[in-house]
Structure 1
Amino acid sequence: MTTTGYVFHPEYLWHDTGTSAGLLPANPTAGVQPAMHVENPEAKRRVHELIHACGLLGELMIIEPRRATVAELTRVHTETYVQHIKTQSELRRGGGDAGDGFSPVGHGSYDIARLAAGGLIELVTAAVHGDITNGYALVRPPGHHATADAGMGFCLFNSIAVAARHAQAELGLARVAVVDWDAHHGNGTQAIFDDDPSVLTISLHQAGCFPPDSGWTHENGTGDGTGYALNVPLPPGSGHAAYLHAMHQVVLPALDRFAPDLILLANGFDAGVFDPLARQMLTAASYREMTRLLVGAADRLCHGRLIAAHEGGYSPFYTPYCALTFSKNSPAPPPTSPTLSPLSSPATPPNPSPPNNKPSSARPRNSCPASRRPSRPPEKRPHPRDDREHEGCRRHHRDPARRGGWADYSAFIHVYARG
């Protein structure tokens, strides 16, 4: 029987990121009006409240978090950086910053970030001890951008990296795989394990989004870790089929070859269709299918041990539906998302259709949006702009350069598919 663990604590919502204007720090003297910071508690508060309102808490095993110790944090972070976060957290007027100028450290956030890392440690421990099969940590602040000596991208401590090292040092696991489908590159996790062949990192993300200078296919590890970091930079707007294709062609084969003892998931929902910080157009159905694939891989490879940590996801009204992909019974979601289903071993999933990378001469005639419109009455003369749009689509299809990153993505998929 599958048992799903769940970690949450009210303190996660108390991490105070202050005010901002989008990604800019608020500065009234420079004309930057204060507004709510984009990394605020609302989305995760609504996730927890929806789980509670649906009556799902009784079907999950509640795992109480604890604060990670300094010794546990310094398995992946430098002592200087840990002390920096503590010092910034002790500032009483607005707190400080983790390092990049865009990652607020509120007053008391040091202990909250320790609680996030410790919650993931406890979830991993419960899975390895057999108390749960898989689990979900609804934690905050996020962590996958934090490197050994610097915070960035709203991240303070890299909770997934801390949990991975705990699994190896304290629980005796030899190999840990980290899958990251947050819309932004999991650069911190990759950097921490860059030369370590005992940890496989796989990141699916929007190409060039954040950080803009990382996450490219040539970044595949260094030294003994060469080949143990995989990056799948997807063009903006890739959507459901592209992500499932990458899962089937890259992620699952890589996991099968690596044969991990534990799979950790950096479960960011900012690739969702309504998210303000990315353009990847995924729906709750996309996350459901990707989760099913990972659950199946965990069942095959590591006794079902799949532990997910909530990372990004900044649409407060849509993120909760995406997060319910691990639950057994969900409410009727918005029209853009079909009803979700349990986090359990899937039947053989349908093989998704790969992206259409055929040359223009082989593309179906109805691939142009204008050609799919209802036919007009013969007596009505089409507006000239419609003809321009149709011709623009034809030019787009004829010129490979106009198709953006699909050609590069297709070549990349074929390289990794051959192993």
Structure 2
Amino acid sequence: MSTGFYWSERCFWHSGGNYAGNAPVGGHVQPLAAGGLPENPEGKRRLKNLMEVTGLVGDLAVAGAEPATEADLARVHAPAYLEEFCRQSDAGGGEIGLRAPFGPGSYEIAALSAGLAARAVEDVLAGRHRNAYSLCRPPGHHCTADWPNGFCLLNNIAVAVARARASDPVRVAVLDWDVHHGNGTEAIFYEEAEVLTVSLHQEWNYPLDTGRATDRGTGPGEDANLNVPLPPGAGHATWLEALDRLALPAIRRFAPDLIVVACGYDAALIDPLSRMMCTAETYREMTRRVMALADDICGGRLVLAHEGGYSEVYVPFCGHAVLEELSGSQVRAPDPFAEAYRLRQPGARFEAFASELIAEQAEAAGL
């Protein structure tokens, strides 16, 4: 069965409004590539370009999607927030929450980003694809029901999961390996028993007040949330150990019908917004392991939605490795930094220290 790949050039045209420089943007004026925001289109656009150059895109079922509807968004987000976001977007842009500025037309683009994730989930659940990748922009995992932050304006994965569950009460496990805590997705599903949220992240990076290992969900959602805060400096071995000893056992115990991954690449070694040391091979191996789990417990049903990652040079190679693995393609884009980054991995003493922290968290979570 094929791997679906969902994207839209229009998503690359989301801008940070006044943060994007002096040139006017909107309409048929494409936003500047950078303009002061780490969250800019180049990492994602370069990933798509690399796939075209290598030919990997030919091994994927490429499609677009319709924007998420007002009904889709209203299942997750507060009406007052949606109204204000739309109003400011129509008026030229602004900023409602924290570190989530937007320009003209961003409401419609954010709805399209959520629509890409929603169609990916829908098609995998319907059996049209075994698995899928959604190249979402703007990202979503920091956005709560009524408060955008951390570059996230709508919660793409939450919208996708809520739309799927509106017609079929499937159990869904959301695994977030973006380097920043998936606070928005956690908050939206914190009292939900049928959606497990698991976040691997750098401790106290962003947000500064969420992501504690002791936060396990409340009410019906008790024990349906797992946070795995990792110390700065963790690399390939530590991230895989955290996945193997905490995240994957928690998902197996939950027994979902579908696994959705919030796939950020900002734990990579040269990312400007983290202090982690992962490589493209780390993302390849994490993908391989979550695929094996999906094959074992939920018929292979797996969707990855692109989140963060701010190294324009390295994100494309991390994403290419993930998509190679996801699709089973033999097309390769060798990591040009592999040897240099291998030599910069943490030493044995750090890995032993991190392993002790993981073991403590596993014991506390009963895993």
Would you say same fold, with TM above 0.5? yes
In the TM superposition, 1:13-412 aligns within 5 A as: 13-18=12-17, 20=19, 35-92=35-92, 95-100=93-98, 102-170=99-167, 172-324=168-320, 325-327=322-324, 328=329, 329-336=331-338, 356-357=351-352, 407-412=356-361
Deviation string, structure 1 residues 261-300 (Cα, Å, up to 9, x no partner): 1111100000011100001110000000000011111111
Change (3 A) 1:185 1:337: farther
Q: Is the Cα contact below 8 Å between 1:245 and 1:354 reproduced in 2?
A: no
How far did residue 406 of structure 1 move?
A: 6.5
Q: Contact (CA 8 Å) 1:18, 1:36: kept in 2 or not?
A: no
Contact 1:19–1:37 under 8 Å retained in 2: no
The corresponding residue for 2:26 is: none
Separation (CA, whole Å) in 2 of partners of 1:124 and 1:40 = 25
Question: Percent of counterpart pairs with the same letter?
Answer: 45
**Residue 335 of structure 1: how far off its partner (Å):** 3.3
**Contact 2:265–2:308 at 8 Å: present in 1 too?**
yes
> Residue 78 of structure 2 aligns to which amino acid in structure 1?
T
Tell me: higher relative CO, structure 1 or 2? Use CA pairs within 8 A at least 6 residues apart: 2
* Inter-partner Cα distance in structure 2 for 1:332 and 1:406: 30
Q: Is the 8 A contact 1:98 1:155 kept in 2?
A: no
- Letter in structure 2 aligned against 1:63: A
What is the alpha-carbon distance in structure 1 between the residues aligned to residue 88 and residue 294 of structure 2?
A: 39
Verify the 8 A CA contact 2:238 2:355 in the aligned structure 1: no
- Separation (CA, whole Å) in 1 of partners of 2:258 and 2:334: 32
Q: Which residue of 2 aligns with 1:400?
A: none
Q: Distance in 1 between matches of 2:150 and 2:339?
A: 28
> 2:8 maps to what in 1?
9
Q: TM-score, normalised by structure 2?
A: 0.89
Unpaired runs of 5+ residues, structure 2, are 23-33, 341-347
**Aligned partners of 2:242 and 2:358 also within 8 Å:** no
C-alpha displacement at 1:413, in angstroms?
Answer: 2.8
Across the two proteins, how many residue pairs are aligned to each other? 343
Letter aligned with residue 319 of structure 2? A
Distance 2:280 2:215 in 1: 30
**C-alpha deviation, 1:174, in angstroms:** 2.3
TM-superposed deviation, 1:332: 2.2
Secondary structure at 2:338 match in 1: coil
Relative to structure 1, the CA distance from residue 168 to residue 355 in structure 2 (aligned partners, 3 Å threshold; closer, same or farther) is farther
Residue aligned with 2:199, SS:
strand
Three-state SS of the structure 2 residue aligned to 1:104 is coil
SS at match of 2:129: coil
Whether the 8 Å contact between 1:298 and 1:304 is mirrored in structure 2 is yes
Preserved CA contact (<8 Å) 2:118 2:163: yes
Q: 1:291 to 1:56 in 2, by over 3 A?
A: same
1:376 is aligned to: none
- Aligned-partner Cα distance in 2 for 1:19–1:320: 27
| Equivalent position SS for 1:36 | coil
- On the 8 A contact 1:98/1:105 being kept in 2, the answer is no
Q: Deviations over 1:4-29 (max 9, x none)?
A: 100110101100114659xxx99xxx
Counterpart CA distance in 2 for 1:248 and 1:415 is 16
2:360 maps to a residue whose letter is A
Structure having the higher Rg: 1
Deviation string, structure 1 residues 45-70 (Cα, Å, up to 9, x no partner)? 10110011111222101122111111
Residue 364 of structure 2 corresponds to which residue in structure 1? 415
**2:242 aligns to what SS in structure 1?**
helix
- Deviation of the 1:356 alpha carbon: 4.6
**Cα RMSD for the two superposed structures:** 2.1
Q: Deviations over 1:344-390 (max 9, x none)?
A: xxxxxxxxx99754xxxxxxxxxxxxxxxxxxxxxxxxxxxxxxxxx
